[in-house]
Amino acid sequence: MARTKTLYRCNECGATEPKWTGRCMGCEAWGTLIEEVDGPVGPGAVPILAPTTAPIQISDVDPTEFTPRATGVAELDRVLGGGLVPGSVTLLGGEPGIGKSTVLLQAAAEVAATGRKVLYLSGEESAQQIRLRAERLGALHPMLWLATEIALPQVLGAIASVEPDLVIVDSVQTLLNPDLASTPGSVAQVRDCSHRLVQEAKRRGCAMVLVGHVTKDGSLAGPRVLEHMVDTVLSFEGDRHHALRLLRVVKHRFGSTQELGLFEMTEKGLAGVPDASGMFLADRRLGIPGSVVVPTIEGARPLLVELQILTTPSTLPSPRRSAQGIDNGRLALLLAVLQQRVGVQTGQVDVYALAVGGVKIVEPGADLALGLAVVSSLTGKPVPADVVACGEVGLGGELRQVAHTPRRLAEAARLGFKRAVLPFSAPAPPPGIVAIRVGTLIDAVERLQMLPN
Ligand code: TYD
Ligand code: MG
């Protein structure tokens, strides 16, 4: 095959170089050069042809064309708003080892079981490895086809020979277009190969799922540059040391991005978790100082999470603040507000904060619960077991309501909570919950009688 000429273009200033260099000669930025295929530019370089599909009036577009088809994995279908749309491309991103291959193999088998053909393309594992895993997952099905190609022409060939309804590409980082000089996993390769695959999915009208590995900081060459190219972007998250996995929708051309899927990693693969709050609170011990339950919201799904704070006398010149599952910045802000507005001194103690269950809470709705947990830990007075707390704390110590309060509190009621500490402005709680309305963090501390005698 004839090699096309490649050049390297700076992502920042657009300057081009014939060879890759670490630093752009044009703007002197580091690591911004991206490989691209050279071609003629200017007037006439692109011919003007009749369109393949003629433009039509918007009202003439068939709205039923994009009907999702269920994958059979309930939590995945919930997140997708029903299932995968034929001809659409979904990117599933997540850290290595989080369970992307597992959930997709399960989905592949479910789809195959309905009589639709599925092609699972793996550049990461051998066919034997995938078969062994499929046996464990109960995912052996004659309509499920495997190929372990990585080179783009062969990948396209495999799709052409199977003619599947669903293609799974695991992962985009292993794909290789031999026309490009860069190695698999580079931005140029990932972008180019994915682009070709997206076109192929649209042309054939088959659904396609691309797997993309993402590192802890959410970067790594790959998934980010693909987000605009695909119809749907899903993110698979969780703590590898915990069983819980969260499936979020980052982008969705066919539906809401508010849904959240919850899975538990088990011996037999990923199992859906319909009652996550119940799971989180199952091992909670009552009457422990420093523990407060907060009704958080993930997308549109309420989740009750226990926050725990432990304070110990510090011998360090600058005491330790350690937070797991809780944003360090929010914790620091809360400690400052407690000190300045509530008169609670934390300068001499180490503070350990934990969101139980391996979830990450980033929303400000957990502020009030966090503040109460710190006070409770310092005074040794537990927050009553039937109380949840929900509200954002401002720098003045004032409280603000947060979105979806009724939905959060309905979940609290469902799990047997009776009272909720809420800002004055919050809407009325649902039946079964009595509001303890407060204006400031110090009000809340006083109403719960948590100051030392
Ligand atoms: P995997 O799907 O390979 O992750 P990814 O494709 O995102 O890199 O899953 C990796 C982990 O899941 C692996 O460490 C083992 C665990 N696992 C189970 O606990 N149970 C199972 O049934 C399977 C298949 C995997
Ligand atoms: Mg994998």
Q: In this predicted structure, which of 150-154, 274-278, 368-372 has the lowest mean pLDDT? A: 274-278
- Does the pLDDT at position 15 exceed 90? no
| Alpha carbon 366 to its chain's center | 19
The verdict on domain 67-273 having CATH code 3.40.50.300 is yes
- Does the pLDDT at position 73 exceed 50? yes
Q: What is the pLDDT of residues 16-25, one digit of tens each?
A: 888 888 888 8
Ligand 1 pocket test, candidate residues 102, 122, 242, 265, most atoms within 8 A of CB? 102
Average pLDDT, the chain: 90
* Ligand 1 atom having least distance to the Cα of 170: 6
Ligand 1 pocket test, candidate residues 265, 268, 270, most atoms within 8 A of CB? 265
* Ligand 1 atom having least distance to the Cα of 100: 7
Instruction: Say what the pLDDT of residue 2 is.
Output: 46
Ligand 1: does its nearest atom lie under 6 Å from the Cβ of 136? yes
* Ligand 1 atom having least distance to the Cα of 95: 7
Ligand 1: does its nearest atom lie under 6 Å from the Cβ of 102? yes
Q: What count of other Cβ atoms lies within 10 Å of the Cβ of residue 68?
A: 17
- Residues 278-447, CATH architecture: 2-Layer Sandwich (3.30)
Sign of CA dihedral 200, 201, 202, 203: positive
Kindly report the pTM of this predicted structure: 0.80
Q: What is the pLDDT of residues 396-418, one digit of tens each?
A: 999 999 999 999 999 999 999 99
- Does the pLDDT at position 4 exceed 70? no
Nearest residue (by CA) to ligand 1, atom 25, is 269
Confidence of residue 294 (pLDDT cuts 50, 70, 90): very high
Instruction: Say what the pLDDT of residue 345 is.
Output: 92
Ligand 1: does its nearest atom lie under 6 Å from the Cβ of 100? yes
Structure tokens, 327: 């944003």
Ligand 1: does its nearest atom lie under 6 Å from the Cβ of 97? yes
* Ligand 1 atom having least distance to the Cα of 125: 3
What mean pLDDT do residues 434-440 have?
96
Ligand nearest to the backbone CA of 92: 1
CA distance 167 to 149: 13
Ligand 1: does its nearest atom lie under 6 Å from the Cβ of 96? yes
Q: What is the pLDDT of residues 77-117, one digit of tens each?
A: 999 999 999 999 999 999 999 999 999 999 999 999 999 99
Ligand 1 center to 246 CA (angstroms): 14
Q: What is the pLDDT of residues 223-271, one digit of tens each?
A: 667 888 999 999 998 887 888 899 999 999 998 888 889 999 999 999 9
22: part of which helix (H) or strand (E)?
none
